[in-house]
Chain A
Amino acid sequence: MRNEIRRLREEVGLSQAALAEALAVSRQTVNSLETGRYDPSLPLAFTIARHFGLTIEEIFHVDP
């Protein structure tokens, strides 16, 4: 699954550590999410979407 987390994070000028703190996860988890190595749980996906003021579908995309 692809996602827009890195682009969104960089647009708002957050570091991985700052985003991790905001989402209450570790920095490694944010890194794994951005590189597509880890797909978040539904609650975490909602938290991420809420953090950026978007919907889940606008952030996460199923690979073609």
Chain B
Amino acid sequence: MSIPDQTRRPLRMAVPLLVAGVLVVALSAYYLAIDEPDTAAGVVVGGLPFLVLAGVALWRAWRRPGSAGTAGRTLTGNPDERDRSIVLGAFAWTGIAAVIAIGAATVAVTFGADALVALQLVMLTVYVVLVGAFVVLSRRT
């Protein structure tokens, strides 16, 4: 229920972001090394916008903790009980969507669809549902 104030520890908040940034660069470099330039570009295009957005949310939460939103407080490890219920709900919807998407993808692959495309669509569905559910629940809760 209580909010432990971690918003005054910018270094602690930035560490997970830096680790994620290093992972994105390393994964992209790996795909380049095994001659998969399209996948490497996909990792960068998918990962960097998320990192930039997360960085902005962290910066705002650090500069003005009182005006941080649910995402900012969650990313800084500073959520209250409403924030936690929103995140929990968003992940619940994501889980349901994942089960349905995987089932649909399995059927599609069985009928001859390209497995890689099906997998990418499952991932896209999961991300879209996660973000969408988070936004909707934040507004409704």
A binds B: yes
Number of A-B contacts defined by CB within 8 Å: 38
Which B positions have Cβ atoms within 8 angstroms of A?
A: 1-3, 66, 68-70, 73, 80-83, 85, 140-141
A contacts with B, residue count (CB < 8 A): 15
Minimum CB distance partner of B83 in chain A: A26
Q: Specify which of B3, B68, B82 is in contact with A32 (CB 8 Å cutoff).
A: B82
A-B pairs, top 10 by smallest CB distance, nearest first, are A24-B2, A29-B82, A25-B80, A43-B1, A44-B1, A26-B80, A24-B3, A38-B141, A38-B82, A41-B81
Contact flag A25-B70 (CB < 8 Å), given A32-B82, A40-B81: no
Q: Which of A25, A32, A37 has the most CB of B within 10 A?
A: A25
Minimum CB distance partner of B141 in chain A: A38
